[in-house]
Structures are given as structure tokens and as C-alpha cells.
Amino acid sequence: MKAVTKIFFLLTALIFLYPVEILKADNKISGSSSEKKLEVGEELVYVVKYSVMRLGEIKIRVTDKKEIGGKGYYSAIADIDSYPSIPFVHLHQVYETTMTPDFYSTFFRGLIKHDDYTSYTEYFFDYKHSKVRVREGKVNEKEPWIDTTGNIDKEYQDGLSILFYARMNSGKRKKEEVPVFMNEKKVTTDIDFDGEREGVSIDAVDYDVDCVHLEGEANFISIFGLTGHFEGWFSNDEAAIPIKAKMNVILGNITLELKSWKRNGWQPPKYRD
């Protein structure tokens, strides 16, 4: 569970790009809304590439919004599946998150489908009492392998909520050290929301998408050497859809690219100088 959770964090939270043609614009975020909006029912599908190989897909959905005290708490789910044609790679996982109005995690669940069973990891964040409960085990077994509670002194991101945190802050000009609870450890990711506006090409449309840029550093080493510098590009509009991501591994680069989407009335905004 730990290794796959790490790779998922980087594949989803670092948000999107391969070394493709990037059209630089001026530094202004023209057309970018300061008020980002999520939509329940939104569905985004990404293809994962390693060099020229297409390894699989990630599907991310916004599943629910609950109003508590006049504030919205969103829930989301992500499915990760490798392609059957890829030898020696059989990844089938599901990740869930529920987020505060500021897009920090209140609950996380990760499921990994093995050959003969499914394992789970769950985090329950109790910010009022500065506690986090961690449970791990096998689905449908009465007793978990691990059930422990630890102390926390701040709000944390999980491997899926940080994607939405990045979305909702894209286009802003600021630098942050973002706390992340990953594999039962308190780590950080440095993000520079530089707000640079650029045109980015993807296979799904025949024009360059108007995007804003961020980059940063993952302050830990993950499976396959995923670590260090990353870059991401988000649509320059109120939806702030992740378009592409670029990240480093020992053998080269891993890429995520938006393949398809379902969101009422949304199309990738066209880049114009």
C-alpha cells in the first residue's frame, strides 16, 4: 500500500506535462477567475505515459458536496488502472477523499486490489482534537492490521486532496510549504504558484490550451525514484482543470495528460496571445 500511495500522490498531485511544445505568454493571468469552482459530477480521465509507452489511466470524479455551517465540504474519488497490454504491471486502485472548505483532508481511503483480496488504508483527521486515526487491513475482515491514533498540530493534505488544493489555488502568485500526511508520515511539498500563463498542447483538442503554471519540490523519495522537481499546468478559467504534468523518475519522465472530461458546458480554453 505504501509504495503505491506514494506513486499515486505524485501522479495526481503534481499535475500534468511531458516535454511538449509550450507557448510562453506574458505573466498576466488574463481570463483566470479568482473564484475557482468545483462541480459535483465532474469526471476527468488522464492517460499516464512513460517515454513512448502508455501505462494506464486515472479517472477522477467529484462525487458529493455537503453544506456544514454554511460551508461546502467536497468529496472525490480516483480510479487508477494499468492497461492489460502492459506486461508485469497490474495496478488497480481506488482513492477517496473528503475535504474542508479550504481543501485540506478530513478523510482519506485507499483501496488496492490484489489477486485474491483487497487491502485498505484509511486516515480520519480530527482537527478539533489534534488527532489522526490510521486504519489498515483487508476488506471484509473484522479486525484491521493497524488501528492507531497519533497527534497532529496542523491541517494536512492526503494524496488526492492536494490535487484539489492545487486546482483551487492555481493562478495565484504565492509560494507555500504544504503539509502532507503520506504513508503514516508527516512530510511536505513545496509549491510555487507562479501564475505564468502558457499555451499547452494535448491530443484531445486541435489547439493549444490556455493554462497557468505551477512548479515545486516533493521533499521525499518515492517508488521508481519519483522525487524532487515537478511542474503542472491548469486551465486558465474558473474550472482550473489539470491539463498536463511533468515529473522526474530515475529513468526519465512520467507524463499525465487530460484525455477526456465531463463537466457541464466546459471545453479547454483556447490560448491566444
What pLDDT is recorded for position 4? 38
Q: Looking at residue 220, what is its pLDDT?
A: 65
C-alpha cell at 39: 462541480
Give the distance from CA 191 to its chain's centroid: 13
Per-residue pLDDT of the chain (273 residues; tens, 9 = 90+): 444 344 444 444 433 332 333 333 343 333 444 589 999 999 999 998 887 888 889 999 999 999 988 889 999 999 999 888 877 667 889 999 999 999 999 999 999 999 899 999 999 999 999 999 999 999 999 899 999 999 999 999 998 999 999 999 999 999 999 999 988 889 898 999 999 999 999 999 999 999 999 998 877 655 444 567 789 999 999 999 999 998 776 656 788 999 999 999 999 999 997
Instruction: Give the DSSP letter of residue 155.
Output: -
Ranges of H-type helices in 80-184: 161-169
pLDDT at 251: 58
- pLDDT tens digits, residue range 106-137? 999 999 999 899 999 999 999 999 999 999 99
* pLDDT tens per residue, range 148-160: 999 999 999 998 9
Predicted confidence at residue 22, as pLDDT, reads: 34
Q: Is residue 2 within a helix (H) or strand (E), and if so which, with residue range?
A: helix 2-13
Helix (H, G, I), strand (E, B) or coil at 170: coil
What pLDDT score was predicted for residue 14? Answer: 38
Q: Tell me what pLDDT residue 227 has.
A: 66
Give the pLDDT score at 82: 86
What pLDDT shows up at residue 7? Answer: 41
C-alpha cell belonging to residue 241: 482543470
One-letter identity of residue 166: A
**Backbone conformation region of residue 65, classed left if phi is above 0, alpha if psi is from -120 to 50, else beta:** beta
pTM, rounded to two decimals: 0.85
